[in-house]
């Protein structure tokens, strides 16, 4: 729509009933996308109208994790998002030919995000989840400009180093005056398949550390909303496009993620 005025972002309008959550992490590989997809699927299974924006330019794994290779279609001048498991999804990967690596810079990403939020026909959503690239990149600032009332959900692992970077990522919210809704600790131990022991593969305490650190820096209570154990079924669910909250809701990871979804 070159030359035309930018459409307004409906979620930023006063009186918007859609809760917007940015799922953020300090670094990649901590399970941010897995958490996003499972929260979305869990909320949709509970009857909420849910959308996901996959803005993780490095990962853009959300469609695969939701089991869709659907393409967006164009109706009039709106983009219709494909949906899977009752979740509407739009991904940066849907607009890169042959899944070419994305080498976009800040302004292009801002523009893409603006379009994902304003030009996609989302309908009346209860919840919109944004899977952000890891780190404290420009995109977090863009989101804050485009949807000032978006709340931030921080994902970390129990590892101290991961916790420190997650805390730094979260404290961006102080600059942008956004609310941090809570912290989720992922890969929080591996239940031994042979006994009752929990093996702390990635150490322990990271989630609590981030929640306390962010409570200090923001001056507002930031709760640790849940601890998701390492669970083969979660990884398999992601690979097979059937989120564990649907394929095995009572598994340790499924139970933990459904509890976070209810707390949001
Ligand atoms: P990120 O979005 O932070 O880069 P992903 O969600 O892509 O991370 O997760 C990275 C890998 O780790 C994926 O293969 C995913 O299936 C796996 N994974 C994430 N969380 C868990 C968990 N709790 N148990 C087992 N595997 C997990």
Q: Give pLDDT tens digits for 26-77.
A: 888 999 999 999 999 999 999 999 999 998 877 789 999 999 988 999 998 8
Across-strand partners of 97? none
Cβ atoms of 208 and 225 closer than 8 Å: no
pLDDT in tens, 244-260: 999 999 999 999 999 99
Average pLDDT over residues 210-229: 93
Question: Is residue 48 in some structural domain?
Answer: yes
Ligand 1: distance of its center to the CA of 77 in Å? 36
For residues 93 and 20, what is the distance between their CA atoms, to the nearest angstrom? 21
Ligand 1, atom 16: closest residue by C-alpha: 235
Tokens representing residue 181 in the block: 């809704």
Close Cβ partners of 178 (under 8 Å, ≥ 6 residues apart)? 22, 144, 148, 150, 151, 152
Lowest mean per-residue pLDDT among 66-75, 84-93, 128-137, 228-237: 128-137
Question: Is residue 239 in some structural domain?
Answer: yes
Helices (H) and strands (E) in the chain, counts: 9, 12
Residue 209 Cα to chain centre, angstroms: 21
Question: Is residue 5 in some structural domain?
Answer: no
Ligand 1, atom 8: closest residue by C-alpha: 31
**ipTM reported for the complex, 2 dp:** 0.99
Could you tell me the residue range of the domain that residue 160 belongs to? 10-263
* DSSP 3-state of 194: coil
Question: Is residue 78 in some structural domain?
Answer: yes
Question: Is residue 66 in some structural domain?
Answer: yes
Q: pLDDT value at position 3? A: 52
State if residue 234 touches ligand 1 by the CB under 6 angstroms criterion.
Answer: yes
Residue to mutate (ligand 1; options 133, 135, 235; most atoms within 8 A of CB): 235
- The structural domain count of the chain equals 1
What stretches of the chain adopt beta strand conformation (E)? 19-25, 50-54, 73-75, 78-80, 83-84, 87-91, 127-131, 151-156, 180-186, 190-191, 198-199, 224-228
Using the structure block, give the residue that is written with the tokens 């030919």: 97
Question: Is residue 112 in some structural domain?
Answer: yes
For residues 177-188, one letter each, b for 16 or more C-beta atoms within 10 angstroms of the residue's C-beta and e for the rest, the string is ebebbbbbbbbb
Closest CA to 38 of 210, 196, 248: 248
Cβ atoms of 231 and 197 closer than 8 Å: no
Question: Is residue 4 in some structural domain?
Answer: no
Q: What CATH number should be reported for the domain holding residue 148? A: 3.40.50.300
What DSSP string runs through 145-186?
HH-TT-EEEEEE-S-HHHHHHHHHHHHHHHHHT--EEEEEEE
pLDDT in tens, 147-167: 989 999 999 999 987 777 777
Question: Is residue 3 in some structural domain?
Answer: no
């Amino acid at each position: 729509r070159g030359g035309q005025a930018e459409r307004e972002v409906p979620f930023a309008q006063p009186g918007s009933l859609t809760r917007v959550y940015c799922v953020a992490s300090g670094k990649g590989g901590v399970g941010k996308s897995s958490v996003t997809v499972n929260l979305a699927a869990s909320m949709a299974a509970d009857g909420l109208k849910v959308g996901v924006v996959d803005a993780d330019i490095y990962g853009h794994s959300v469609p695969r994790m939701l089991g869709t290779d659907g393409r967006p279609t164009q109706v009039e001048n709106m983009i219709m998002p494909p949906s899977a498991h009752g979740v509407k999804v739009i991904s940066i990967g849907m607009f890169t030919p042959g899944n070419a690596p994305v080498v976009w810079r800040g302004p292009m990403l801002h523009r893409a995000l603006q379009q994902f939020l304003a030009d996609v026909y989302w309908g009346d959503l209860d919840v919109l989840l944004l899977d952000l690239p890891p780190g404290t990149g420009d995109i977090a600032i863009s989101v804050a400009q485009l949807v000032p009332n978006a709340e931030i959900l921080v994902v970390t692992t129990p590892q101290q180093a991961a916790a420190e970077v997650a805390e730094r990522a979260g404290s961006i919210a102080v600059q942008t005056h956004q609310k941090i809704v809570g912290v989720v600790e992922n890969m929080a131990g591996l239940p031994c398949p042979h006994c009752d022991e929990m093996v702390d593969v990635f150490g322990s305490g990271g989630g609590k550390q981030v929640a306390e650190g962010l409570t200090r820096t923001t001056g507002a209570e930031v709760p640790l909303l849940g601890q998701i154990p390492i669970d083969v079924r979660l990884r398999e669910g992601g690979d097979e496009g059937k989120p564990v909250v649907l394929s095995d809701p009572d598994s340790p990871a499924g139970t933990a993620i459904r509890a976070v979804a209810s707390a949001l």
